[in-house]
Structure 1
Amino acid sequence: MTGPVTGGLLRIAAACVACAASVWLAVWLQQYSAHGRTSVNEQRLVLGLTWMDAAKALPLAMLLVLPGLEVLVRRAGSDVRIGRRRAGVVLGRGVQACALVAAVAGAADFWPFRFASYAESFESRRADGLTWVLLVPWQFISCVVAGLLLFVLAALRRRAADREPVVLTILAGGFVTGSLWTPVWFCPFLAWSGLAIWCGWLARRPLAPRSLDATGADATATDEASA
């Protein structure tokens, strides 16, 4: 079960996801200069930081996206069709779990690197013979899986109101492209920004009063589903 989408939740989600977008943009700008524009690592220091140091902020960005995902989960949980409601909530919770795993795995990947030093790299770690658990790209896998789950959720919620399917599709693309942290891509910034703007737009709208029909079902949700 999920709770209602309140104005407070929408405002918190808009603020948090906007912060996530800001963090992602700052990391992208720093890595763009420190790593370089191509796949060749130029190993520069920008503001006294390596591009790997900048990536240490990305787990925070992932955690800040969670309130926005909660809005989507609760909207999916308001569907009057029981099968779609359950599937939507399961998919949404799966995306949240993947985002959390990506944050933890990303922190485990980047925080062991010493600040302002290129002495250690991912390649040198592999040469040191770490266990396979530490070598598996959990952060990459989690982001890709989250994106795929969002694509499925967008298809499931294709008739939802307030342009929700569009938001879900854009967010899915953001997670898939956000799987690359070495260096990051610009696209997730656009996805997080879109989610923040959408949550802010919903927060500024007056909440429609919800009513129950004779069967006890949410009549407002029924009207939205049939729209």
Structure 2
Amino acid sequence: MIIVIDYDAGNTANVLRALKKIGVEAELSADPEKIRQAQGLILPGVGAFPSAMRELEKRQLISAIKDAVAAGTPLLGICLGMQLLLEQGLEHQATHGLGLIPGTCRPILPEAGYPVPHMGWNTLHLEQENQLTSGLEGESVYFVHSYFTDVPKDYLDVTASYSREIPAMISKGKVYGAQFHPEKSGEVGLGILRNFAQVCQLEN
């Protein structure tokens, strides 16, 4: 079973609906033991980096997530959830992240013709192929965000062009991030979730 981590960061209903649509058993939970025992984890999120980290700490979920990842459990962070995978975020104030992927979450600077937040459908460019990114070159997905994940090239899998190259997907081992919303990106997004289920050995 996939556990969708519940830390009051929103968008969980859409993620659960998408997983149900592809036939994957999933549950929303803030139970640290269920997180440690899951076959796969999804960390969704809409909101601010500092308050999200405070809520994860308050619910004693940081150590549970790190224990699960250390044990080899695949983890997919979506939108804010991807940003939280990094070492720190610079939204409002410098805040420690989960530290699962090297890097810093930084603000997107507005430029003429490129308003912030970055919102809408954008074309993907494949940088590195892995089990989640196969076949994504030229596909379009849905973004809503004001910050980007500044990571070393080794961890950058997919980008999208905006006022700058936006990291769209990142990974380290079995820890993956999607800046866009797979659950709102039609068949392309469902395909990414299917690939993640395969990584978790849950696909039929």
Pairwise TM-score range, normalised by the shorter structure: under 0.3
TM-score by length of 2: 0.25
The structure whose RCO (Cα within 8 Å, separation 6+) is larger is 1
TM-score by length of 1: 0.23
Larger C-alpha radius of gyration, 1 or 2?
1
Q: Which has the higher strand share?
A: 2
